[in-house]
Amino acid sequence: MQFTITSDDILWLCGFALSIWGVIKIWKEIKQPNEDKTKMLLAHEEKLEKIDERLKEIESAVRLNLQSSLVTINHDITGNGIDQLKNARNEIQEYLINK
């Protein structure tokens, strides 16, 4: 029994390898946009979480500012409320220290 390899066999084998490589390349090209979008969505999610944290900080600062303004207005109107002013001052100090 004799085993011979002809040029047709070599060409067939090369063609088969190239077609497999082509299918793999096409599969990667199809899959790549999905991976890119997934990475982009994860990056956007991180940014949105950071922005959400900043917005919460800003909301608490605005709330504290409005409370202190209200206490000051009440003090100006009634002439009393020194305890409220001290409490507001302490809250502002705590906020600034913890920030």
Q: Which sequence spans correspond to the domains of the chain?
A: 7-98
Q: How far apart are CA 95 and CA 64, in angstroms?
A: 9
pLDDT score for 6: 85
pLDDT at 1: 67
- Point out the residues of the chain with pLDDT beneath 50: none
Count other Cβ atoms within 10 Å, centred on residue 39.
10
Dihedral over Cα of 37, 42, 46, 49: its sign: positive
